[in-house]
Amino acid sequence: LVNFDKIPAGQNACIAVMSYSGYDIEDAVILNKASIDRGFARCMVLRKNQTSIRRYANGAMDRTCGAPDPSGFPGGESDKRFLKYRAIDKDGICRVGEPLESGSYMVNKESPMDTSTGMSGDFGIQSAGMARQMQYKPSGMSYRGGAPVHVDKVLITSNENEQFLIKVMLRQVRRPEVGDKFASRHGQKGVCGLIVPQADMPFNEFGISPDLIMNPHGFPSRMTVGKLLELLVGKAGVYEGRQAYGSAFGEEHGSADTAEAASEALIRNGLNYTGKDVMYSGTSGEPLNAYIFQGPVFYQKLKHMVLDKAHARARGPRAVLTRQPTEGRSRDGGLRLGEMERDCLIAYGASNLIMERLMHSSDAFSANVCMTCGLLQYENWCQYCRSGEKVADIRLPYACKLLFQELQSMNVLPRLRLRDV
């Protein structure tokens, strides 16, 4: 109906509905390594990066430069700092087809350090002498991904104000790996839980191993009967040598392929009318104790790939306001111990671990507290009591101290009652 078969987002996978190895629980799927080696679910990821060449109010302008001279680096052409410029052409923009690694420059750009003072001559024209006096700082655009990529396209556009926009399209070929997300056309999504060599995959009497194994526990509660019908009708279509019509709109006219017609086609081709096969264990060679529902189903590869999401950090940047680790993979953020995780630790009684995660490794802060009034002091002086005698040093999360001060700004006075432990 929507010509989705012209540019599809997936492939017809031979799937087996069975439980295998325990790595397929919670909707996870198991992939055949030989199928991946032959190109199953291989995809191309395209990402756009852009930067602008600006003209500033004082007439100064950004400029692009070619790659620097390798003789200026201690290691010459093999120097790590010079290798970042190896994709740069004479115009300061990367060449199409060049490979890029993390840190490599796509555009070698410099920006003027002074953009406010008037330096243009009559009619806003910048003189050659002024241009020579202008100091520039590097402001190039570099690739910040993990895996290597290739430059696919480069586009340069401009407007009437002499503002240039440089767009670079990066291309990366990816093969499926553990953690990538797949889905059929019935909302049955799941991540890859294991990649198994074909020798260990179950096979039928014809020696056919499935490309993908799906856990049957995804069917009863979700009631996605359309997927079962797609497998049955698709299997009949494979053996009949024709394309099956599975739309619900053709049923009243009699043009849709029904389960009964598909079962009859399977019987004509010497197969079980339910679409189930006898399968043999790939590890022991013995027949399995149950008939396995096996056949072709269209599976799509989704954009959620583990390469874009894998993240870890030890120490790193912190937010200015709360002094807690920043959030998100792009900002090299920390991994949040949420409310539910905290409740599990409380129920378990792991008090030292709670202190370590929620304070010492997050935003521990040393503060002075007045033991008379219970308010925070500054440099051993209590502004409320006008005294600096009874002082206690405590450690608390900086976010807690910030909350107290924000409450004080709204005329709510939180007091700390201290006692010796």
Q: What is the pLDDT of residue 122?
A: 42
322: amino acid identity, one letter: T
Q: What is the pLDDT of residue 125?
A: 45
Closest by CA position to 88, among listed 110, 70, 112, 105: 105
Q: Could you tell me if 20 and 309 are in contact, meaning their C-beta atoms sit under 8 angstroms apart?
A: no
Task: Name 270's Cβ contacts closer than 8 Å, sequence gap at least 6.
Answer: none
Instruction: Choose, from 5, 24, 27, 180, the residue flagged as catalytic.
Output: 27
Fold of 365-421: DCoH-like (3.90.1800)
Cα atoms in the Cβ-side hemisphere of radius 13 Å centred on 333:
12
Residue 222: C-alpha distances to residues 217, 225, 298 (Å): 9, 9, 18
Can you give the residue ranges of every domain in the chain?
A: 10-41+178-301, 44-174, 311-362, 365-421
Indicate the helix (H) or strand (E) that contains 171.
Answer: strand 164-174
What is the number of residues in the chain?
A: 421
Identify whether 27 is a catalytic site residue.
yes
> Where in 175-320 does DSSP place strands (E)?
181-184, 189-196, 203-204, 212-214, 276-277, 279-280, 292-301
Q: What is the pLDDT of residue 251?
A: 67
Question: CATH number of the domain at 311-362, please?
Answer: 3.90.1800.10
Q: What is the pLDDT of residue 216?
A: 92
Q: What is the pLDDT of residue 78?
A: 73
Class of domain 10-41+178-301: mainly beta
Q: What is the pLDDT of residue 1?
A: 55
Residue 353 has what DSSP assignment?
H
CB atoms within 10 A of CB 353: 12
Q: Which residue has the tokens 């990402």?
A: 47
71: amino acid identity, one letter: S
Domain 44-174: CATH superfamily, name plus number: RNA polymerase II, Rpb2 subunit, wall domain (2.40.50.150)
Residue 278: C-alpha distances to residues 274, 275, 293 (Å): 12, 10, 9
Six-digit token string for 64:
């692009």
Residues of the chain with pLDDT under 50: 120-125
301: amino acid identity, one letter: K
Domains 311-362 and 365-421 equal at CATH topology level: yes
